[in-house]
Amino acid sequence: MKRREVPSGGEYPPVSVRSAIEGLDGPLGVIDLDAMDRNTVKMRERAGGLAIRVASKSLRVPAAVDHILAYDGFTGVLAYSLAEAVCLARERGIDDIVVGYPTVERGALRELLEDEELLRTITLVADSPEQLQMIDGVRRTLPSRQAVDSPVRIALEFDAGTRIGPFETGPSFLFGVRRSPLHTPEQAKEFAQHVVRRPGFRLVGILAYEAQIAGLPDRGVGLKGPLIRHLKVRSIADLAERRTRAVRAVREVAPLEFVNGGGTGSLELSEAEGSLTEIGAGSGFYSPVQFDHYTDFLHEPAAYFALPVVRRPAPGWCVVFQGGWTASGPIADDRLPVVSWPSDLEFSATEGPGEVQTPLRGKSADRLRPGDFVFFRHVKAGEVAERLAHFAVVSDGRVVDTWPTYRGLGWTF
Ligand SMILES: Cc1ncc(COP(=O)(O)O)c(C=O)c1O
């Protein structure tokens, strides 16, 4: 199985990071903090002055979130679950959290609805009255003395996918993801009016994430790259018009605190559109394999997992412990982790990266011994943290800290 491309112009991880963790036990998560800091600065530059809301799903390490939020230009968290948002608020003191996906977590909703402070801190996303009905249903189960009067903060989610077809209302192909049903400015305005009229809720923002631009690599093989780039250009034009009109229409209904869109793959494009007040981004800090394949930018790999060699079945082969840490998405080879160092090692075509062990073939296999590390990169950013209790944080050639992951803290959402 062929190893895919890594960013040119460097060896990843650099020798200073490799030697810093020598002698530690693996599987081990490793963050190259110097690379992550450079990525942070570069993301801020790419966003051209627009604030970045940190997408916690792409980090899943509270200390990393804190570290990034200490930089100017980064504001608040885009969480992926309400239970997570409650933990981040209560245990980490984060005071501005948007839960970027609709929530039906009854337990966490009860905690939210009973807590004035959380109601000030956390914004939920919604795109339909039935989600608000669900929240009201939970509110009704609370003993009356426990419910708090403050409204639930709501961000309306607008569909930033582009429908491409010959006719406005005819069959169309969706270049985007299936999330919000609110596709036209008129639909957005109508739902905004619903939220504003409904007791117990306050409309404070819009979320409109253009996954097909921000999250879709455009340096594909063969015709795939040019086709994706062409579709992106069409989609950017569609959004510049449609999202701008939707934001204007919703602002006629309620004063908005924020309009959030974009992601690591679109920082400069989302900023240039002019309709957003902030960008939600997270992957670029670790810069996983998926983000090696964009035409307009390149960040540095900053997160790895190091797996120890456990045996050598034949000349030219070694076997490392674990490895089958595949990424979510449509099942294909490009969901597999990538061997980063030694870079000549390849997976076995018949076994691939395995549940407990992973055979690797290549010249370097012959100089590795049991206990030596092979370094891998995950295809996506935060998912790898679900396999690890903590990351060893390396800076200037030394392990300077140990950052627990959500999993390590027992936070499973
Ligand atoms: C709502 C939302 N905003 C922003 C992002 C961008 O995150 P990242 O920068 O990690 O790609 C995502 C990623 O899926 C998302 O779902």
* pLDDT the model gives residue 346: 97
First-to-last CA distance in the chain? Answer: 33
Instruction: List the Cα angle 96/97/98 in 5-degree steps.
Output: 130
Chain segment 9-37, per-residue pLDDT in tens = 678 999 999 999 999 999 999 999 999 99
Q: Is 125 touching ligand 1 by the criterion CB < 6 Å?
A: no
Q: Is 213 touching ligand 1 by the criterion CB < 6 Å?
A: no
**Which atom of ligand 1 is least distant from the CA of 214?**
11
Across 38-66, average pLDDT: 98
* Highest mean pLDDT out of 98-112, 142-156, 214-228: 98-112
> Residue 390 has which token pair?
């903590």
Q: Is 264 touching ligand 1 by the criterion CB < 6 Å?
A: yes
Across 112-140, average pLDDT: 97
Q: Which residue, among 159, 267, 274, has the nearest Cα to 209 in the 3D structure? A: 159
Distance of CA 298 to the CA centre of its chain: 17
Tell me, what amino acid is at 243? R
Q: Is 381 touching ligand 1 by the criterion CB < 6 Å?
A: yes
Q: pLDDT at residue 159 above 90?
A: yes
Phi-psi region of 303 (alpha: psi -120 to 50; beta: other; left: phi over 0): beta
Distance of CA 10 to the CA centre of its chain: 25
Distance from Cα 281 to the centre of ligand 1, integer Å:
6
Distance from Cα 32 to the centre of ligand 1, integer Å:
22
> For the whole model, what pTM was predicted?
0.95
Q: Is 214 touching ligand 1 by the criterion CB < 6 Å?
A: yes
